[in-house]
A and B are shown apart, each in its own frame.
Chain A
Amino acid sequence: MERSEIYEKLNEIFCDVLDLDEVHLTDASVADDIEEWDSLSHIQLIVAIEKAFGIKFTSLEIMKWNNVGEMVNSIIAKKQ
């Protein structure tokens, strides 16, 4: 799966979960960039991402992410 395809899907998930009109995620995107993205919505996002990509993250993996780029790396690693 291409990185750009993952981002396309992620943008849709973020809009859906956070009730946003549009969002443009990049590797450097962090929770502070989006007002609606907090510790509670973060979990809803993870559940939606796991469902959409048919994968399961470990707790430590989730805790280690510093930005969206690192999350995308985890998705790519799981999809390979």
Chain B
Amino acid sequence: MVINSFRFLAFFAVVFLVYFLPWMRQRHTRQNLWLLLASYFFYGFVDWKMLPVLLAITVAFWFLGGFIRKSIDRGNAKAASRFTTLGVVFGIGLLFYFKYLNFFAGSFAKLLNAIGLHVSWSTLNIVLPVGVSFFTFKLISYVIEIHREKIQPSESFLEFATYIAFFPTIMAGPIDRPGKFLPQLRQAHQFNYNLAMDGCQQILWGVFTKMVIADSIAVITHGAWALYPEKTSWYLIYAALLSPIQVYADFDGYSNMAIGVGKILGFNITKNFDHPLLARNVSEYWRRWHLSLTGWITDYVFMPLNVRFRNWGNLGIFLAISINLLVIGMWHGANWTYVLFGVYHSLLFLPLILTGKFGKNKKLKSGRRGCVQFKDLLGMIGTHLLMALGHIIIFSAGVPSIIRLFKCMINGDWFFVNPLSLLSWYSILSIVVLLVLEWFTRNKEFAIQRVSKDYTSKTFRIVFLDMLLALAIVIFSASANAEFVYFQF
């Protein structure tokens, strides 16, 4: 059940109406119970067989959180560390079992066969629970934050289970941290008109970028990754150049929808993107891309490693960044292409570390007439080209396919393809609109957000823009049921 579907609209209408009934608004526990039931229904609708797994894992982590806090209170730091380690190992173990066991066992069998030891490996039939990469990270952060004494364990199981299964974000994030989200479940939510309107605007923008921009580019990129031997060099080059825009428009579109749905219910969900197409180097790109994941990995993987390697100079930084990027690559799934993606990105960091340019960049400043400065523009184009290369790696079926695809890209038929023949005029127009808006609305949470966040007065401009976007979605949406790219992770 994707957010941009009529089925979801019907589901959400029921959730919304009951959630804000006067009787429900009196107590947050009633609202939480309703949200939990709705979330479990939503999850069960997609994957009912995994519901008991989700419930059992949630129960286990809730108890672990309590044990860690009790150990800290008793002054038993060792026991607290042990329980935390158990939680982290359990969480990673779950991911390993569901996502990677087939992959590692298969790779190991291939390796043994390659050195002459013939083993037969029949793939285990492990079903991947939907959203496992996202809710497992929430569970792990819960135990670590309690151990670091940043949060108190949740006293109510209902509250904790609602946080883990919260339906707008369980499928593909954003990965909310317990310190930010749990307090929001400790108060009854009254309907907040301005926040809900802000959410509606955000959903509208998300649907537009997903259905008008991402889905129309997806037709080209899917064709390129799956049927590259039949495509011309120009086609493959266009596909690679468009891919970072497609994935951004897709995942940012999804994130905006999820955040918008949360806002209508009165929740503030973590931001997932900060205009990554405006990044001037790879380091800046990672500070702008999939923030809820990169922030999680920075806090729980990068920082502990960096602290440990802190006296090793540039080598320590490079090691910490490389491991960090390998984890990010592997988080996407079980394939050597994801490992290679991590290696590729860590190599991109090497010149930045050696020249000391890996730190936070200065805020973007406008040039003449509010336009982007030439030097910044060059950085953005260079970063985009590097990202495009990375997309060839991550979206190829396997490592041999990457090499073959590159060969096709270089040695293929150089018959020039008119971009207009690949993309419709409205897709090109909407990409240009997206890029221009990215620049001019870079200080906003999303492009069509009102600066004041006050929607009580509707100006003609806002209503006109909304209607224009809605019309564009109705007329130009490429496909009504296109999957989101990040659902596969």
Contact = CB atoms under 8 A, between A and B. Distances in A.
Contact of A43 (B149, B307, B363): B307
A40 B307 CA distance: 10
A47 interface: yes
A33 B53 CA distance: 42
Interface residues of A, number: 16
Nearest to B360: A38
B13 to A, nearest CB: 38
* Most chain A CB inside 10 Å of its own CB: which residue of B308, B311, B360, B363: B360
B306 interface: yes
Contact of B359 (A38, A62, A64): A38
B148 interface: yes
A60 B360 contact: no
A46 B310 contact: yes
Nearest to B324: A39
The binding surface of chain A is classed by DSSP as helix
30 contacts: A35-B363, A36-B359, A36-B360, A38-B287, A38-B359, A38-B360, A39-B298, A39-B302, A39-B303, A40-B306, A40-B317, A40-B359, A41-B359, A41-B360, A42-B303, A43-B303, A43-B306, A43-B307, A43-B317, A46-B307, A46-B310, A59-B307, A59-B308, A60-B148, A62-B307, A63-B303, A63-B304, A64-B148, A64-B149, A66-B150
Contacts of A40: 306, 317, 358-360
Interface string A20-56: 0000000000000001101111110011000000000
A36 B308 CA distance: 22
Interface of A: 35-36, 38-43, 46-47, 59-60, 62-64, 66
A43 B308 CA distance: 10
Given A40-B317, A43-B310, A59-B304, A35 B360 contact: yes
Contacts of B149: 64
A59 B287 CA distance: 24
Query: Top 6 nearest A-B pairs by Cβ distance?
Result: A38-B360, A43-B306, A59-B307, A63-B148, A39-B298, A43-B310
Contacts of A46: 307, 310
Interface string B151-184: 0000000000000000000000000000000000
Given A63-B148, A64-B148, A66-B150, A39 B306 contact: yes
Given A62-B303, A62-B307, 13 more contacts: A35-B363, A36-B359, A36-B360, A38-B287, A39-B298, A39-B302, A39-B306, A41-B359, A42-B303, A43-B317, A46-B307, A47-B311, A59-B304
Nearest to B363: A35
Nearest to A57: B307
Interface string B327-365: 000000000000000000000000000000011101100
Interface in B294-315: 298, 302-304, 306-308, 310-311
A42 to B, nearest CB: 8
Interface string B257-293: 0000000000000000000000000000001000000
A60 B68 CA distance: 15
A41 B310 CA distance: 11
Nearest to A62: B307
